[in-house]
Every structure is written in structure tokens, then in C-alpha cells.
Structure 1
């Protein structure tokens, strides 16, 4: 392969990964538009997000298995074609459940675009430059979910929601054509094993029901809803059976035996928390900006831009540090501290906070995430045998996705309960004997009277305005509590690094995250 072909293939696979990751978050700001256009409730429309997440989590851990049995080139190009076709069908959906169905299939196709893309990237670099390959790919991993809301907001505001899917069509077509001419099979082909259909079925059912519970639990009032209770039982039984089955057959679809490695197990926990922080911060920040601060979707997305730009340099720097033999533990610890500081800063904002302040806070988040994306994968597989590295990295990838799903569910539940608590606390101070309450009530009443309202109507509108202020303040306080909770989770899990320090002395080889 000529240097030009190598660079072209590099850009192609990174672009494919970014396209897949953008689609994780691009629909978030368009849900209300979809709901109105398709005549569905916002709860039903949120399945557009849930179905994609479920498909991703199911397909990621079995990517290595599918690559070995179908051939990397066939599987990758086929996944691109499936992703592109389903993007077209999503844009043309005439009802919500058709959209959800093709969104699920789009997630199945998208699973390979992340895992296989990185495997290809590492083949394009010699071993001494693997750190740089990891950093370049980390750019896509970081940028995709970050610019998704910005791009989705811009498209929704200026065009229409189907175009958030249609933009994938030319990109997917070009990617598939380039891969057809440039992509080859790996030099060392993985061994083809018998198809573990039982394992695939148990994993799909278990992860699918678990994801549904995590994504929909708060909306459906958790176990007060019959299907949430049923899905919880099914998830527990299926995943327990899956673990037992995979540990007792010779060719499992997911080799859980690699979790005997203490380093991998601890890294998986840290990756879970990292995924939780990465996805919840992207979820919480636009919510605060749009619902409480009055930003447009595009303005909310632009808040993330300065941090994303600086993160590119941080990713490259972390890759060079790994390449020079710096232990990933030190980089991970720094990333955790940066993320804890970001959450602490966000937990102290007020309704008068400026866009510049939020953007500055997000810079700390971006640098922290840049220091976690590549080093965590390196740490996860640092103690594995070469043959176990792909499976270990795939499990680590799945933990990041599960962390994100669990985090969104945790934040939704926690903020709902904290909102109720803060609302009660604020209302207790709104009494007829409180001078500030009386002064504000009189001021609002007088204002509405100047607009032509009668005394009784003016008082009713004044009380409604005060109640609106209470709701807004309660919501803000609950979101700030969520940021603080996430920061504490990072702080509580950071000491786990102490248990793997002795295992990672010396240079660490950066490997494929698939």
C-alpha cells in the first residue's frame, strides 16, 4: 500500500468511527421535533435513542467473533452498507415504531465502525508509533459524541430532523467504496470457531432487556411498571446463564476468562465510570443550557467546541507519553482529577452563569476525557496474552457503553428525586409572613396590572410566575447535585489504581480497542 493509500484509508476508518459516534447523540436535540412530526409521545420517541444504544452494546462484545467468522473486510463493508441503508430508512420513517426498528438495525451496523476501525488504524502504524495511532483514533472517539448535539441542533433548526440521518448517506457510500478498494484482511487471520448461537442469544436477550430497564426505568416509574419488572428478571436470568455458559464451553462468543486478569477487571470498572461521566456530562450540560439558561440547541452545542479543540492536542500528547513508556496509570489519575474538578465547578454555577464560564469548565472535562480514552485501553490489556487482547479490549469497550447507559438512568432518577426535595425546601420559605415573598408578589401583581389585568387575575399570574421560578431553581439545584454525585463517583473509584501499579511498570504497548 502506497503512503497516499495508507493515509486515505486512515482518514476513511476514522471518519467511519466518527460517523457512528455522532449518531449516538445527534438525535438528542431533535426528539421534540420527531415527536410532533410523527404524532408520538416524547416517551415513545425516546426509544429512538434507546434502540440504538441497545444494538451497540449487544454487537460490541461479539465484534471479534463476527470478524473472525465473516472476514474483516466483508463484515466491515457490510456493516457500513447496513448503517447507511438504515440511515435512509430512518429519515423516511412515517411512524415512530418504523423509525425505532431501523434505528436498532443502524446500531447493529454501527457497532463494527468503532471496533474494526481502530483495529485497522493500528495495522497502519508500526509498533513504535502505536501511541500516535491510538491518539489519532481517540480524536474520533472523543469528537463524535461531543459534536453530535451541535450538529443535530444546527440541522434541526435550519432544515428538518430527517436530515440528521440523510447526512450519513453520502458519507457511508464514499466510505464503503473506499474500503472496497483499500481495505484488506489482516496479515494474521483470527481462527474461525464454531458459532456459539446460545451465547449470542443469551447475551442479546440479557443486554437488550438490561439496557431497556436502564434507559426506561425512570420514565416508567421503575418497578411500578410491569414490563420493567419482567425485563429486570429476564436480564438477571439471561446474564447469569450467559456467564455460566461462556465459562464452560471451549469456544465462547465472549471469552470471560480474560477477566481473571486483575488489571483488566479494575480497568473495566474505571472505564465504566469514565463512560458514565462522559455521557452524563454531554446529557446534563445541554439540558441546563437550553431549559434553564435559554440557549438554542446550536448555542448549547457550541459550548463544547473550545474543549473539543484543546482535547485534540491532549489526545496527541497522551499518545506520545504512552509511546515513550510513561505508565498509563499516571495519565489516568490526572484525567480523573481533571474530571473531578470539572464536576465540582459545574456543581457551583448559578442562573447568571455566562457561556464563557461553562465553556471553560468544559475544557477541564475535555482534557480529562482525553487523558482517559487511550490510557484506559492500554491499561486494560497490559497484562493479557496477545491472543486475548481483542476480547479484553471489546469487554472494556462494552463497559464504557454500559457506563453511559447506567449514568443517564442514574442521573434521571437522582435529579427527579432531588428536584422534589429542593422544591419542598423552597416552597416552605414562600409564606405570607416572608417579607421577600410579599415584596416579589406585590411587584409581579403591579406589573400584570399595568398590562391590563384585574387584581385577581394579576395575583394569579404573579403566583404562577413565582411557582415557575421555584420550578426553575429546583431543577437547577438538582442538576448541580448530579454533577457533584458524578464527581464523587470518580473520587471513590480512583484509589483502585493503587491495586495495579506494580503490574504496569515499564513501557506499555498501546493496542487495538476492539
Structure 2
């Protein structure tokens, strides 16, 4: 972020101080990215305890992501106002406080308010953690710093479902938020003790208030429209139409204002750079598909396969195995390789994994669920760092902080939008498949009546009970077919966005440095 060059000018840390500093900064990163997914498997439990629907419960995920997306572009301005270290430590402490408020929330509105605060204060943590870490290592070791950082940032969203499931089943959903308290206090204390003498210079800068308000307006209204669309039957609802129009108008105003403002809160002119444009769209669409599937998979396993929260989490955890093992390999490959080739390999790998999942059946066993998840660790390892290198390559040092913030903003917001769209798409496809299956279940159909008689005979009980069982089976089958459609479409999307990588230009000289400056 702004001021990171000043930190880099200081002598690197050494010995035990470097190890402790790396641990503290990495833990802050881990805590943040963990919270983007830890609630995924706990949503049914949270919704049940607070007396709301699962659809309403998913706001716990999407509002955190939306608030996080809005806060990220402010990081550069805040860094210059209060200093890199003070901002980082302050954000951690506020994250701890909002985590405690999430844990004690007595109802959904209070929980959502706390999650909005939590997402907002988490905004600066991702870009600052990498800037601080890179400033702590010698320049020739920057790839190692990047590998360590990428490892924690990759493991967080993957470990989240398993950890969230175990905590929810063993204790209470509140503890998925309480665990941030000791981790955050340790990270903040150690970071302040080691880095307080390495603060960046500050200066008073005007804030683009109109840009900030219009940013909040269009992001907020679009997110609410996406979340409530399914419940309100989309554009047949005047509320959804009004929200859509408001989002479109405020977005258009935002773009015009930011392009003409002297000190814009978001430097949209960066999209004029070919590498930034192609790389940002590619990483954002890919992340939207990647993250939305991380949400849907455990939800389906719990609702239709009767997995406990912890088991659903454990079934998705193997994603982290190869992602962690290969992180140092990527750091060594980056300076010698074309980042576009590595990113293409990642997208092809994701397409293969989602195509494998599109053949699931209602009788799928745990091993069949786990194998694609395990294999997904390979493309995950090749995903973030090469694309970040592409996005930031060719930019002057003074533009890298703004570019990192803007690409992060687009990616994180795309994750929130992708989750809403995937959830709605799954619901719509499930309804469609249910209707098609129902067409085959007419009482006039001899095949159907024969199947029902056979079921009645094998189960015993009344014909009504046999019919109820059949309806349940049909619902499960429809949900499975609907999810398979989402998996198949995910595979297609990953193939279709590969050309975006190749419209960018190779920039070997600055690729590794750019990756180091940018982060996820």
C-alpha cells in the first residue's frame, strides 16, 4: 500500500524477530480469510438458532464480502492518513471487537450489523499484510515471503468449512467468531511490538466523499437486489426493479465522477491498461466461481446428503493439501516462467475438477466427493500469484498500491455476487428439474404406478407414506441435477475465460515484483 516503499527502504528483519513477525502478520491474514468461509457450513445452524430461513442466513456471508469489498479501495488513503502499522494494528483490534459482537448477537439484524463492521475493518488487512511482510525480508527473498503469505491466505478459506463445522457441531456457532479474539490479540500485540518503529510517514489527504457515498450506494443496492431477488420473485417485484435502477444509476454516476475527480477514491483509469483489465476480469470471474462453489458444496451435503457440519467441512478440507505443498514451488517457478502459462494451467485444472463434479449422483460416496476436492488443490496453488503478477506487471511503483486495492475490490465483490447468482441458479435449476421429473409421475403412467406399488411393497406402511418417500426422493434428485448444472457451467466458464489471460502482455522483468506488491 502507499507507504510500503518506505518500509521496504528500512533494513530487513533477521533471526527470531523475523520468524515472530512473519507468524503474527500471517495469523492476521489467516484470521481474515478464514472468516470469509468459516460461516459457510454453519449457516443452517445459525439460521435455525436465530429463527430465520437459510436464505436469510446466507446474508452472513454476502454482507461480510460486500462490506469488505467497499473498504478495500480506502486502504491507500487510510494508510497515508494514519500510517501503515497503526492502520494494520487498529484494523486487527476492531476485527477482534466485531468478532466478539458477532458471537454474542441475539438475533439476525445484530449479527448482520456486526458482520458488516467486521468486513469493513478487514478491508485493509489483506493488502497491508503483504506490504508489511515484503518489507521485512531482503529483496532477494521476496519470493519466499510471497510463498509464506500465499500459503496462509490459501489455507484460510479452505480450512474455514472444516473448522467451522467442527466448532458448530462440538460447541456453538458463536465460537466460530470467538476464536478470532486470542488470535487477533496475539497478532496485534506482536506486530505493534516489532513494527512500531517502522511506521510509514503520514500526510493529510482529502477524501473523495462523493465517490465513497456513490460506491456504497451501488455496491449495497446491487448486493441487496441479488440477495432478495429469489425471495421476491426477481423483476416481478417493484422492490427489485427499484433496487436495480438505483444500482445502475449510482454506478453510472460513480464511474463518471471517479474518471473526472482530481483525487478519486478508486483510480478507474487503471482499466485502460491491457494487463490490468484482462487480469482483473479473469481473476474476478474465476474467484466468483471458485468461492460460490465453496459455499454451495457443503450446503448441499448437509441439506440433501445428511452430512453433519463437521463432516461437510472435512470433505472440503483436502483442497488445502496440494495448495499448501505447492505454494513454495510457485514462488520458485514465477521468476522463470510466463505467468500466463501458469494461470492457464490453473483454469484448465479448475475446469476438469468441476466437470468431474457435474457427474455426481444422489448415491455419491465420500471418496467420490473428496477426490475432485483433493485435485482442486493443484489449480488453487497456480491461481492467485500468477494472475496477480499479470495484473500489476508494467505499472509504475506509485500506481501499484491503487491497482492492488482496485483489483482486490473487484475480486472480493465478484465473490459476493457470484455466491448470490450461484445460489439463485441452483434454486431455479432445481425447480426446473423437479417440474420435469413431476411430468413423469402422472397417475395415468403405468411405469409410475408400478414403481409406486413396488415402493409401497418394499417399505410397508400406507400408500400415502410411499408417495411421501417418493416425493422426498424426487426433491433430492432435482437438487442433485440442479447442482450438476452449476458444476458443468462452472467448468465451461473456466474454459471461456482463458483467452482473457492471453490478451495480456508478458512482462518478465516486473512480474515477480508485481506479484509481491499486490497480494490476493
Band the TM-score falls in, shorter-chain normalisation: over 0.9
Shift of 1:149: 1.4
Of 339, 347, 361 in structure 2, the residue corresponding to residue 336 of structure 1 is 347
Separation in 2 of the partners of 1:471 and 1:3? 59
Shift of 1:359: 1.4
Separation in 2 of the partners of 1:304 and 1:12? 26
* TM-score, structure 1 normalization: 0.93
Match of 2:469 in 1: 465
Match of 1:48 in 2: 60
Structure 1 vs Structure 2 CA RMSD: 2.0
Match of 2:86 in 1: 74
1:513 aligns with 2:508: no
Separation in 1 of the partners of 2:297 and 2:211? 38
Q: Is the 8 A contact 1:29 1:152 kept in 2?
A: yes
Shift of 1:80: 0.9
Matched position secondary structure for 1:6: helix
1:408 aligns with 2:419: yes
Q: Is the 8 A contact 1:199 1:245 kept in 2?
A: yes
Separation in 2 of the partners of 1:185 and 1:52? 32
Q: Is the 8 A contact 1:275 1:399 kept in 2?
A: no
1:211 aligns with 2:223: yes
Of 17, 24, 27 in structure 2, the residue corresponding to residue 15 of structure 1 is 27
Matched position secondary structure for 2:359: coil
Residue-by-residue CA offset, 1:229-279 (whole Å, 9 max, x unaligned)? 222222222222222222212222211122211100000110112211221
Q: Is the alpha carbon distance of 1:374 and 1:273 closer, same or farther for their aligned partners in structure 2, counting shifts above 3 Å?
A: same
1:475 aligns with 2:487: no
Q: Is the 8 A contact 1:13 1:113 kept in 2?
A: no
Unaligned runs of 5+ in 2: 1-12
Name which of structure 1's ranges 257-266 and 438-447 shifts more when overlaid on structure 2.
438-447
Q: Is the 8 A contact 2:279 2:504 kept in 1?
A: no
Separation in 2 of the partners of 1:95 and 1:424? 36
Match of 1:504 in 2: 507
Separation in 1 of the partners of 2:233 and 2:219? 20
Separation in 2 of the partners of 1:192 and 1:358? 53
- The total of aligned residue pairs comes to 505
Q: Is the alpha carbon distance of 1:350 and 1:36 closer, same or farther for their aligned partners in structure 2, counting shifts above 3 Å?
A: closer
Match of 2:398 in 1: 387
Match of 1:100 in 2: 112
Separation in 2 of the partners of 1:416 and 1:46? 14
1:277 aligns with 2:289: yes
Q: Is the 8 A contact 2:322 2:377 kept in 1?
A: yes
Of 136, 154, 161 in structure 2, the residue corresponding to residue 124 of structure 1 is 136
Q: Is the alpha carbon distance of 1:28 and 1:507 closer, same or farther for their aligned partners in structure 2, counting shifts above 3 Å?
A: closer
Of 161, 175, 178 in structure 2, the residue corresponding to residue 163 of structure 1 is 175
Name which of structure 1's ranges 418-427 and 460-469 shifts more when overlaid on structure 2.
418-427
* TM-score, structure 2 normalization: 0.92
Q: Is the alpha carbon distance of 1:32 and 1:301 closer, same or farther for their aligned partners in structure 2, counting shifts above 3 Å?
A: closer
Q: Is the alpha carbon distance of 1:416 and 1:44 closer, same or farther for their aligned partners in structure 2, counting shifts above 3 Å?
A: closer
Q: Is the alpha carbon distance of 1:338 and 1:189 closer, same or farther for their aligned partners in structure 2, counting shifts above 3 Å?
A: farther
Separation in 2 of the partners of 1:408 and 1:135? 28
Match of 2:9 in 1: none
Name which of structure 1's ranges 16-25 and 46-55 shifts more when overlaid on structure 2.
46-55
Separation in 2 of the partners of 1:95 and 1:295? 26
Match of 1:288 in 2: 300
Separation in 2 of the partners of 1:181 and 1:153? 34
Name which of structure 1's ranges 433-442 and 5-14 shifts more when overlaid on structure 2.
433-442
Name which of structure 1's ranges 261-270 and 489-498 shifts more when overlaid on structure 2.
489-498
Separation in 2 of the partners of 1:175 and 1:505? 35
Matched position secondary structure for 1:200: helix
Q: Is the 8 A contact 2:28 2:184 kept in 1?
A: yes
Match of 2:262 in 1: 250
Q: Is the alpha carbon distance of 1:190 and 1:265 closer, same or farther for their aligned partners in structure 2, counting shifts above 3 Å?
A: farther
Q: Is the 8 A contact 2:162 2:313 kept in 1?
A: yes
Separation in 2 of the partners of 1:350 and 1:87? 38
Matched position secondary structure for 2:381: helix
Q: Is the alpha carbon distance of 1:38 and 1:414 closer, same or farther for their aligned partners in structure 2, counting shifts above 3 Å?
A: closer
Separation in 2 of the partners of 1:209 and 1:140? 32
Q: Is the 8 A contact 2:40 2:298 kept in 1?
A: no
Matched position secondary structure for 2:46: helix
Unaligned runs of 5+ in 1: none
Separation in 1 of the partners of 2:431 and 2:82? 52
